[in-house]
Copies of this chain bind each other. A is one copy, B any other.
């Protein structure tokens, strides 16, 4: 196992006024903003209202991962699962992934729905959502 580290600087952050957010984007109606650093605004130019985007972010409030967390119990399932089969925010690398709906976009601000990130969450990347489909041979 290589022991290198990779360091990332947020490209922006999530901002909203909800005191709590649902456990997962798939059950969320929360609306808020994704505010991208002005220097990257031009990279957003092809995102449009109605798009689904992938947001990669850091679970910046999670406690440190410990070996006991290799098995997690998702609250909506109530049964134990290996952490890599869950969306637990406590994982070896605290990386989060959500699919959100774009309501509007103005310059460097994405107005989005289905947020499940805490206010202030650091955003590391935005990607287009390309659903999985079996490969046609």
Name the distance in Å between A10's Cβ and chain B's nearest Cβ: 6
Check A124 against B93 for contact (C-beta < 8 Å). yes
A1-16 vs B, Cβ < 8 Å mask (1 yes, 0 no): 1111111111111000
14 interchain pairs (CB within 8 A)?
A6-B7, A6-B10, A11-B93, A24-B130, A43-B82, A43-B84, A46-B82, A46-B84, A47-B82, A56-B93, A84-B127, A84-B128, A87-B130, A129-B132
A84-114 vs B, Cβ < 8 Å mask (1 yes, 0 no): 1111000111110101000000000000001
Provided the pairs A37-B1, A42-B70, A46-B82 are in contact, do residues A87 and B8 lie with their beta carbons within 8 angstroms? Answer: no
Q: Is chain A's interface secondary structure helix, strand, loop, or mixed overall?
A: mixed
Q: Determine the chain B residues whose CB is within 8 A of the CB of A117 once the complex forms.
A: none
Check B93 against A126 for contact (C-beta < 8 Å). no
Check B128 against A131 for contact (C-beta < 8 Å). no
18 further contact pairs, Cβ within 8 A, besides A1-B38, A2-B13, A11-B93? A2-B122, A4-B9, A6-B10, A6-B60, A6-B122, A8-B8, A27-B135, A39-B67, A42-B82, A43-B70, A43-B82, A43-B83, A46-B84, A47-B84, A84-B128, A93-B124, A114-B135, A129-B132
Q: Determine the chain B residues whose CB is within 8 A of the CB of A95 once the complex forms.
A: 8, 56, 124-125
